[in-house]
Amino acid sequence: MPKQRTPRPPRKRRTKRRSAGPQTPVYAGPFGRAQAERLLWRAGFGPRPGQADEFAGLGLRAAVDRLLHPPSQGLTGPGPTNGKGGGLVPQHAWGHDHLWWLDRMVRADAPLIERMTLVWHDWFATSRSGVPTAKLMLDQNQLLREHSLGTFRELTVRVTKDPAMLIWLSGAANNAQAPNENYARELMELFTLGARASYSERDVREQARALTGWRADWKATGPTNFRFDRRLHDPGSKRIFRRAGTYDWRDAVELCLEHGAHPGFFVRKLWSYFIPSPPDARTEQALAALYRDSGTEIRPVLEAILLHPALHEGPRMVKPPVVHTAGMLRALGRGVDTDSWVWVNSMSGQQLFIPPNVAGWDDQRWLDTATWRGRWHAAGAALMPFTLTDAAAYLASVGGSETPEEGVNRALSFWGDPAITPETRQHLIAFAADCEQLGNPRDKKRSHLVLRQNALRQLIATSPDYQTS
């Protein structure tokens, strides 16, 4: 019999052509300091001192372009330390991987690239809890960074053969004699198509067969020499999405990316990291067309999302714990100088490199009665080196007296004048006024103003306005 010809999934050519279909709208309202601040939080880790004004002066399109095409990808500011007189050893010391990445978020000159690295870490969630060496996780982290704004096709191919992922979802244990469905299932359900896409359990089993063939050598120091071994691959015909062929691991990825459900899934999921309400049908259609026509490029879709009115006019969005922490440190000009951030952020619900499961963190449930305590500790830890202790000096600096309104304004100025609602301002002023009723007159003159200022700084950093953007 003649040898069976294997039909390969069609590979689309990359093109810069924009879709002839519906276009996504662009925000046309005012773009001042408050709008620039929101953009810098959503597409990064908040503004450095003076950066909100700088971006507001650029205008929306130029500000988005600066984020998408940063003039520098370096790190600015003091290098990280463990707070005990030494540097970081992320490959060897527990928690130092978290500190290492938090430092990059704090000092990044290209915050959107670092923020997208965090997005992909959540999207292709891989955990140190199931990967035997920190080096594999750090290598994967760099892979996500390098491809953060490239094509989703190349990113998915690279992740599929990434050693940390091969261990985490059993790819290195998947062979023709014992196909393992872990990666096949998550490739479709979580990474490319979604749980409600039109694929079957048979598709999962057949994808697992297509993905067979990876192996590694195990030594005392951990797995090494990851490679594709055709002797372990199932060369037989598989039927996936009603199409038959002798598919291999690359075909498994391509079949998912060419599936009709993929573009919509991709734009909805990417959108959810920047805008809390889902896109309307017309916007989703336009973004999906843009994604298809660009050859699965990430950057143009992300640009359209960052320019969309829903980002600038829509509801506020809760900042992930590490974003909240990194933003406070950026605002204060403080580097990572203590290992306390590991347990503080873990208490807040997010330890980097250890997502809770293969689905990543639940971005809809960042705040609850348990994680709120961690955020309060995070604000206190960020403020600790700046705690005011000299009551007489503070009293002199404010000219011997300070109204509640003046106290609130000074506390806001300390944080770089973040945008807050009138309601929050009134609550802060009411708190400051209440402080004047506490203690006896002699204590108030000596210390209450400095204590009040410390408290106002803490309250601002934990206010609903500062924990959302």
In this predicted model, what pLDDT tens digit does every residue of 371-394 receive, in sequence order?
999 999 999 999 999 999 999 999
Answer for the pair 45, 330: CB distance below 8 angstroms, yes or no.
yes
Q: State the Cα–Cα distance between residues 323 and 329, nearest whole angstrom.
A: 10
CA distance 379 to 459: 9
pTM: 0.94
Question: Which residue, among 322, 330, 325, 284, has the nearest Cα to 305 in the 3D structure?
Answer: 284
> Do residues 31 and 56 make contact, with C-beta atoms less than 8 angstroms apart?
yes
pLDDT at 363: 87
Which pLDDT does position 197 carry in this prediction?
81
At residue 438, does pLDDT exceed 90?
no
Amino acid at 183: Y
Give the dihedral sign, CA 357/358/361/362.
negative
Distance of alpha carbon 468 from alpha carbon 407, whole angstroms: 23
- What is the C-alpha to C-alpha distance for residues 270 and 317, in angstroms, rounded to an integer? 15
Residues 77 and 85: their CA atoms lie apart, in Å, by 18
> Residue 444: pLDDT band by 50, 70, 90 thresholds?
low
pLDDT the model gives residue 3 = 39
pLDDT band at 358 (very low <50, low <70, confident <90, very high): very high
* Predicted confidence band of residue 296 (pLDDT cuts 50, 70, 90): very high
pLDDT of residue 21: 60
| pLDDT at 14 (0 to 100) | 44
Q: DSSP secondary-structure letter at 446? A: I
Residue 447 clears pLDDT 90, i.e. is over it? no
Backbone angles phi, psi at 268, to 5 degrees: -65, -45
Q: Which helix (H) or strand (E) holds 68?
A: helix 60-68
Q: What is the mean pLDDT of the chain?
A: 93
Residue 115 banded pLDDT, cuts 50, 70, 90? very high
Residue 226 pLDDT > 70, yes or no? yes
Alpha helices per DSSP H over 72-186: 96-107, 111-123, 134-146, 152-160, 163-168, 182-186
Q: What share of the chain is helix, strand, coil (3-state, %, to 5)?
A: 50, 5, 40
Residue 118: C-alpha distances to residues 184, 393, 394 (Å): 23, 42, 40
Task: Between 407 and 442, name the one with better pLDDT.
Answer: 407
Rounded-to-integer distance, Cα 407 and Cα 252, Å: 61
The predicted pLDDT at position 190 comes to 97
- With contact defined as beta carbons under 8 Å apart, do 354 and 128 qualify? yes
At residue 12, does pLDDT exceed 50? no
Place of tokens 């609130």: 408
Cα-atom radius of gyration of the chain, to the nearest Å?
25
- How open is the CA angle 301-306-312, to the nearest 5 degrees? 145
Confidence band of 443 (pLDDT split at 50, 70, 90): low
Give the model confidence (pLDDT) of 80-92 as tens digits.
999 998 999 999 9
* Count, residues in the chain: 469
Q: Looking at residues 212-241, what average pLDDT do you find? A: 96
Residue 17: pLDDT over 50 = no
Residues 6+ apart with CB under 8 A from 104: 75, 114
* pLDDT: which is higher, 168 or 435: 168
pLDDT (average), residues 284-295: 97
* pLDDT (0 to 100) of residue 121: 98
Phi, psi of 244 (to 5 degrees): -100, 145
